[in-house]
Structure 1
């Protein structure tokens, strides 16, 4: 339960389930992460299994623990993934490498010794529930835009075909998935991520840490992993352009962590932006930062359904996002947010426009806050999709 949008949406789903009707077991590969406390008390957290916990360990540590076959599978996946990356030129082989890791380690992982009415796999890849759990009905979630990722189609289809129902977090995610797997159309439905607006507003009221509180400039906030997908490097380049146009009072705060941090810090230093572009790292509670900003910006290259954008709207903030493939399913351009060209120039121009037009910022913020962001009705739709005669709490 590390900090992340999928983890927060899982916590919200668990919070909203009706425990008078469901007995829920939760399987986590590792019992760690800043969001562990968000797991409701009525959820039965299964004991951590050492074999699955290896997914968060280095190969060296796995070898030291004596799990040589799992270590071998990890190494084989890494070498095959690198070979395919070089042969095909794909920029992000992570999804493919993860597929291979599961393929090569699955034979050495234990099954659950219990049969369930429903088994839910909430995060891809879905090998564990597909192969290691017995259930009358199996359900898997789609959180990403399939038009943007590279996977082994045959291996991926084999896993997806083991599920009776598949849930996409947006219409655009469903459509992108079905372009690749049209034969699964009858199994795919849509359920948007759940949020808890009251909890978000309460957390947002907590004191804002430095340096945001004492900064009188025009404040931008982005929440997300420091990864290529989230486009934080585009944000740095956009701020460079804005500075060159004389906007010296803009401050950009990024809440998040990830493998791209060294490269992003290098880019910040290269452009002399250390006094205006701040990487704030992990924050269990990002909402005070959102509440303190003048504009929330999501400069992503691709998204499924970004939870942080909805959270910013809940807090009454104007939102600017890039035109990634599923952007139109997230906001209505010029109505409750602004969609800009996916480039540093596009981001800079959008920020400049909103910087200069307070009336537009206010209109976008007001319209964005009008929607029902709690996801009410989503659980009823899910139950209907599963043909269950149950009601949301």
Structure 2
């Protein structure tokens, strides 16, 4: 029996969190004892966690990474609060003077670096410790393990980080797991010296669960909307390109496409800016933000088209989920797009621009034959990939017994 630690931030609604749930559901618990370390026990997905994974108690200092500075100071974590302020000031200055569009990654990196002296170490030693979400300083610096593994879910060539500091951290790991080959290649553009450490393990998908959840009865405004319905499930952030989607729909409406409605399921820091943009373009009745939904699948299910307008991705979990639901899918041509969609077979890749998104939607709007072909190809494609976990078991090390994933399916808690 191997002792495994998996660490992540929390279980708020998101693609990374859904992929973690799927991995835990399909884990081989006969040969592995899994401890799950969440820095904060919060999020709508908490109730979906596998009961076979042992959820460790919160450690007060680590909960601060999901708290505001005022909350940290109220908790009397003054040194951690000071490190947060210093990280924010440094990142803001870098963004202002170096023209960094999204300094949040750099700020997060500095936040961990400055806080490390004030964070406690884990006492237990593990056979393998897995850090599931960047930045990976907790597992790198505060956990004892014979092997350490870090997961990468995004296109790191497109985000601003301190490369030297990052490389020092990455070198503490024996393996770095990319969720697609394209994600691996984009990572190595920035961290080429780490090539020997990087392997590919795709996100574990659960088609049966997704299809069953899609049939759940929810308050769904799409059902009675007879317009051409576009759906996106994404965080409201710069990376996901929702602002590009708003502008693309404006172009289409100006061309006379008044019978289109674009629904976005998700939440995030850009919500206020997006609402302002929607109002500016007079799209309140056409571009609709539905907010956070624990179960996005009923909304996907009734879409005429699923669109991912992202500026960059590792491998978008939501795109695979839309394909599982046999939806015609269009994604922008971000650097890892070819690993997500087989062009013209199970999806379409459009130019990564406002104009490109608008033209791609216009083509699919008219080409019903193409939409049907994409749907049928997805319908008959087998999206099950539990076998991907075998790669992780090889990293963890051999066991006396062979793995039998068929016997390790986990019962979920109810959605509630």
Q: Could you say if the C-alpha distance between residues 392 and 344 of structure 1 is closer, same or farther in structure 2, counting changes exceeding 3 Å?
A: farther
- Correspondence 1:332 to 2:377: no
Superposed CA deviations along residues 139-198 of structure 1, whole A, max 9, x for unmatched, are: 110111111111101110011000011110000111111122222211110011011100
Deviations along 1:271-325, whole A, 9 cap, x unmatched?
Answer: 1111111100000000000001000000000000000000000000000000111
Matches of residues 199-348 of structure 1 in structure 2 within 5 Å? 199-348=209-358
> How much has 1:376 moved relative to structure 2?
2.9
**Alignment pair present for 1:161 and 2:171:** yes
User: 1:74 is matched with which residue?
Assistant: 84
Q: State the match for 2:59 in structure 1.
A: 49
- Residue 141 and residue 392 in structure 1: after superposition, are their counterparts in 2 closer, same or farther (change >3 A)? farther
Q: Report the more deviating stretch, 178-187 or 255-264.
A: 178-187
- Contact 1:17 1:392 (8 Å CA) reproduced: no
2:185 aligned partner: 175
The 2-side partners of 1:319 and 1:297 are apart by 6
Q: Secondary structure at the match of 2:32?
A: coil
Aligned equivalent of 1:102 = 112
The 8 Å contact of residues 127 and 396 in structure 2, kept in 1 or not, is answered as no
1:391 aligns with 2:403: yes
Q: Please give the alpha-carbon distance, in whole angstroms, between the structure 2 residues aligned to 1:135 and 1:210.
A: 47
* Deviation of the 1:371 alpha carbon: 3.1
Give the superposition deviation at 1:391. Answer: 2.0
Contact 1:208 1:292 in 2 (8 A): no
Superposition deviation, residue 385 in structure 1: 4.2
User: How many aligned residue pairs are there?
Assistant: 393
**Alpha-carbon distance in structure 2 between the residues aligned to 1:62 and 1:209:** 37
State the match for 2:20 in structure 1. Answer: 10
Inter-partner Cα distance in structure 1 for 2:379 and 2:223: 23
- The root-mean-square deviation of aligned C-alpha atoms, in Å, is 1.1
Report the TM-score when normalising by structure 1: 0.98
Secondary structure class of the residue paired with 2:288: strand
| 2:384 equivalent in structure 1 | 374
Q: Measure the CA separation in 2 of the matches of 1:251 and 1:61.
A: 40
Matched with 1:194 is 204
> Is the contact made by 2:205 and 2:386 (CA closer than 8 Å) also made in structure 1?
no
**Partner SS state of residue 229, structure 1:** coil
Aligned counterpart for 1:133 among listed residues 124, 129, 143: 143
Q: Name structure 2 gaps, 5 residues minimum.
A: 1-10, 406-416
1:115-154 deviations in Å (ceiling 9; x for gaps) = 0011000000000000000001101101111111111011
Work out the CA distance in 2 between the residues paired with 1:141 and 1:164: 12
* 1:392 shift after superposition: 4.8
- CA 1:214 to 1:54, structure 2 compared with 1: closer, same or farther past 3 Å? same
CA–CA separation in structure 1 for the residues paired with 2:77 and 2:249: 47
TM-score, normalising length: structure 2 = 0.93
Cα distance in 2, alignment partners of residues 388 and 123 from structure 1: 25
Distance 1:387 1:44, change over 3 A: closer
Once the two structures are TM-superposed, the CA of residue 209 in structure 1 deviates from its matched residue by 2.1
Which fold has the larger relative contact order, with Cα–Cα distance below 8 Å and residues 6 or more apart in sequence? 2
Give the drift of 1:374.
2.1
TM superposition shift of 1:211: 1.6
Q: How far apart in 1 are the matches of 2:310 and 2:222?
A: 23
Aligned to 1:63: 73
Deviation at 1:381, TM superposition (A): 2.4
